[in-house]
Homo-oligomer: A and B are copies of this chain.
Amino acid sequence: MEPRISLITLGVTDLARSTAFYRDGLGLPTEGDYEGVTFFKLRGTWLSLYPRVALAADAGVPADGEVPAAGGAFPGFALAHNVSSKAAVDATLQQAQSAGARLVKLAQDAEWGGYSGYFADPDGYLWEVAWNPGLDLT
């Protein structure tokens, strides 16, 4: 694993409201124009906003209540570690499991054209490991 958090995604209840807060209120610069997700291109780690329910669904965990695989409730956000190939996704998830992480979602092809899976750290915080051919965050 490289020493890098590529992206922090906050699961939000009202994407338009949260986008306005961060973009217009705090002045953070958006990047691109995507349906259903807002990216802020920051120095270092990017921030993204995504509906809370959709984020839970992407990780394959319930949005409310217990997350058996993660050992706690859905924390509402995910850190992302992007890598440069599908093989590196698999290798990183394997490394995390060897380190004691719980595999929450096996890596698979994603609707957005990439490949990703999720693991949970000892407290149930979610990390997505992703290969994204459309957005270089490695």
Contacts and interface: CB of A to CB of B under 8 A. Distances in A.
Interface in A49-83: 52, 75-77, 79
A41 interface: yes
Copies, count: 2
A25 B101 contact: yes
Interface in A1-41: 1-5, 8, 10-14, 17-18, 21-22, 24-29, 40-41
Interface residues of A, number: 43
Nearest to A1: B26
Nearest to A98: B25
Contacts of A4: 42-44
Given A44-B5, A44-B45, A45-B5, A24 B75 contact: no
A27 B25 CA distance: 37
A47 interface: yes
A111 to B, nearest CB: 24
Contacts of A40: 3
A70 to B, nearest CB: 12
Given A13-B123, A21-B122, A123-B18, A79 B8 contact: yes
